[in-house]
A and B are shown apart, each in its own frame.
Chain A
Amino acid sequence: MNWKCAIAVLLLGSLLTACKEQKSSAEKFAEDGILLIGNNSEPQSQDPHKATAVADGKIICTLLEGLVRPSPTEDGAVLPGTAERWEHNDTADEWTFHLNPSAKWSDGRPVTANDFAYAYQRLLHPKFAGKYAEMLYPLRNAENFSKGLCNWEEVGVKAVAPHTLRLSLSGPTPHLLRLLLHYTWFPIPAHKVEELGGMLDRRSLWTRPEHWVGNGAYVLAAHRFNDYLSVSPNPQYLRASELKNKGIRFLPIVNGYTETRMYLGGKLHITNNVPPEMLAYAQAERPSDFCRDPYYCTIFYRLNTSRAPLNDSRVRRALHLAIDREALVNKVVRGAGAPSVTFTPPGAGYAVNAPTEPTTQAEREEEARRLLAEAGYAEGKKFPVLELMTTSRDVQRVMAETIQAMWEKVLGIHVDIRSCEWTAYKSAQQNMEYDISSSSWSGDYLDPATFVELWRSGGGNNCTGWGNPEADAALSAARNTGHAEQRQRHLQQAEELMLHELPILPLYHSQRTYLRSSRHIDGWQPRLLDNFPLDAVLVKP
């Protein structure tokens, strides 16, 4: 009988304590100054050389600090991070960074130029197989080294003094500082990694909380799989006194509906995403907390230009013109985006001219029918049934059905929809086993090149079979100029050529919709890359 009593007492006791404490988690954690933030999915790794997801990046940016850090006041601007100053030559392909001598790892050891060189060598090492090694390809000979074609000594990274790092790049890179904000450019504690298995050990445990050593504003405190990951202030951090909160707890909530419910139930301070179906509800429930920010991401359809009839640019343009983007964004995505006929989202001072097109939707549809007839498919007759591939996400499926109906109505053609689970979809897309594939692309860094470079002939992420020597030349010219304005013009030229031939159908530039507690959170600003420095977020009780 004893155990029954024990359970009864335990249940009753916890019920009573719970009833006594009426405060929500959001209130309790706010009193302790700890930020509760929804972080989309369980992180892949806290190792900057194994992580690839946005959710990982958010955590790593609190744990490690690169040469520069993002400004909390201006999007895209950089402030000195571990480097206190830097200079570059006239052509911007040789950069020297002077590290702050007082920068320390969380175990008290100094951060040296060697820690950076060690990190870059590790990510690029052919035996390590860094998934994101391409981010370091601007370094001279980096690509060759990662393919095992040259020695590390030939790569453009030199620790010339304990606190001086020299980076030699394969071409002029005036936008290097923005690249450096990405976690692939962060240092790792060479001494700790060596202690726990060495540079090439992919199974190394150095990123576990019990072993963690970092130079960021926080250190890894605890991690429970699929539950939470928490970070606490790093007392050795360079600007430890400037920290605005006492820690962060990241919750890996994949499901946007659950996340929104948790926010409304007082379990979070900031959410990651409000799904389209809940936008109106969330906005009505919490008008002052609801946020809709531009995001450096484009939603578009890839067309497989190696297959007929999509190898005909008139057919592609007809499909393009027949889509009513206003209706799509307003009715399906419910305002979580801005309709667009260009690819690169606005930002970083870049804008591209779309090819001249009819303005009203009726005129566009008329033009679409004319082009399709010109290509030999008047009123959609004899047009083969194409397959439109999407992921199994609800929004994507509904979007595909909408566009399917638009094409049927305007052009009289029928497409079949194939909805695949994520890995099968990705596999088919990367192997070009599709006709039309719903796609999205988000920028790694705040610069148009992260979008336009996609369309280089034979590029790994092109996946459309399209290529244009003129556009390739423009992209190469952009890589080889140190002049920022000229570089922009080359990129614009490349994108305009791509938009003229349309291997893709741009649909809209997405916007992030999320909830943020106006009562508990201060100092937050929207960021195109969703990379606002979390150490600058003030948590109020």
Chain B
Amino acid sequence: MIKLLLKRLAQGALVVFVLETITFFLVRMLPGNPFLGERKLPQHVMEQLNALYGLDQSALVQYFNYWKNILTEGDFGPSLVREGLQVSDIIAEAFPVSLWLGVLGMGIAIVVGIPAGMIAARCKNRWPDVLLMFFAMLGICVPAFVIAPVFGKTLGMHVPGLSVAGWDNPLCAVLPSLTLGLINAAYLARLTRGGMLEVLSQDFMRTAKAKGAGTIRQLFIHALRSGLLPAVSYLGPAFAALITGSFVVETCFQVPGMGLHFVNATTDRDYFLIQGLVLCYGILIVGANLIVDLALVALNPRLRTQGAA
């Protein structure tokens, strides 16, 4: 187990490093620069700005300086567009908001998605299955930028307490997390249904039934553990994606989270901010995948022997 953990950690560190390196050079290859504005800057001003932030040096020198600053001083650099703010401050302010929404959204996704998938599998090809899978398909097909405004317009404006958009009271989190949650619930329901169907058709389930296990016992004690495997693999990356925010949901509900930064920092060419965000996202994805791996080992005894071997 320890060996597996260490191996995965080393792989993860390598992935994050490669990801950050590719990002670093790719963003610098994009046309334009962080200082482009509505008005063209005089040449000498542009040169001074580049010199001030070290962007006049070769990309390689910038690259080494970037890692040096992170490793020696923990400095992720300044925002080049919102001057005076540090990348770490921006992420520290936005991440808790996205984390909170992500946790709520994931909670909703699990509470709605997994039971829906189990019921659908249990009632395969009967009306509850058809109905649930219809809604799951709807959740997958209808994009967030349609669901979010519809929720805002219908629930946000008419249900007392709920907020159409904005972030000025605790209940503002309800609609964005519901949007995030239901979209993920749709995926989870389909994955759970698929996983459960495969398990339910296996011999040991028939044995369990023959031994007189009730529906609840069959589903929860015998089938669920293996049936959840596909859903759990999905949950890790999905969770990392959720807690780093969604551009669409944050734009539609005016939520001050991380998702906005991913898109805005790129269109603004805010180099250090993009790199900081990618680093943060990379670490979270690697971390989430690691947890998934461990969870899968816990759920599936066969993996344990493979891991040991």
Contacts and interface: CB of A to CB of B under 8 A. Distances in A.
Are A and B co-members of a single complex? yes
Interface of A: 14-15, 18-19, 21-22, 25, 42-45, 47, 50, 52-53, 126-134, 146-148, 202-205, 207-208, 224-228, 251, 253-255, 257-258, 261-262, 264-267, 421-424, 426-428, 430, 460-461, 463
5 contacts: A50-B84, A53-B37, A227-B256, A265-B163, A428-B31
Interface string B100-128: 00000000000000000000000000000
A236 B253 CA distance: 38
A121 to B, nearest CB: 15
A205 B82 CA distance: 12
A257 B149 CA distance: 9
A251 B52 contact: no
B40 interface: yes
B251 A255 contact: yes
B38 A52 contact: yes
B45 A130 contact: yes
A460 B45 CA distance: 12
Interface string B154-177: 001100111111111111000000
B42 A18 contact: no
Interface string B18-39: 0000000000001111011111
A132 B149 CA distance: 38
Contact of A430 (B36, B82, B253): B36
B267 A423 contact: yes
Contacts of A423: 30-33, 36, 267-269
Contacts, number: 156
Contacts of B280: none
A460 B168 contact: no
Contacts of B37: 52-53, 131, 426
A461 B83 CA distance: 24
B208 interface: no
A131 B35 CA distance: 8
Interface residues of B, number: 54
Interface of B: 30-33, 35-42, 44-45, 48-49, 52, 78, 81-85, 90, 93-94, 149, 152-153, 156-157, 160-171, 251-254, 256-257, 260-261, 267-269
Given A18-B160, A225-B85, A460 B44 contact: no
A117 B304 CA distance: 73
Contact of A426 (B32, B42, B93, B257): B32
B84 A52 contact: no
Nearest to A249: B168
Nearest to A463: B40
B44 to A, nearest CB: 5
Given A225-B93, A265-B157, A265-B164, A461 B39 contact: yes
A272 B267 CA distance: 22
Nearest to A201: B84
A205 B78 CA distance: 12
A22 B78 CA distance: 42
Contacts of B48: 126-129
Given A258-B165, A426-B32, A147 B44 contact: yes
Contacts of A47: 83-84
Nearest to A147: B44
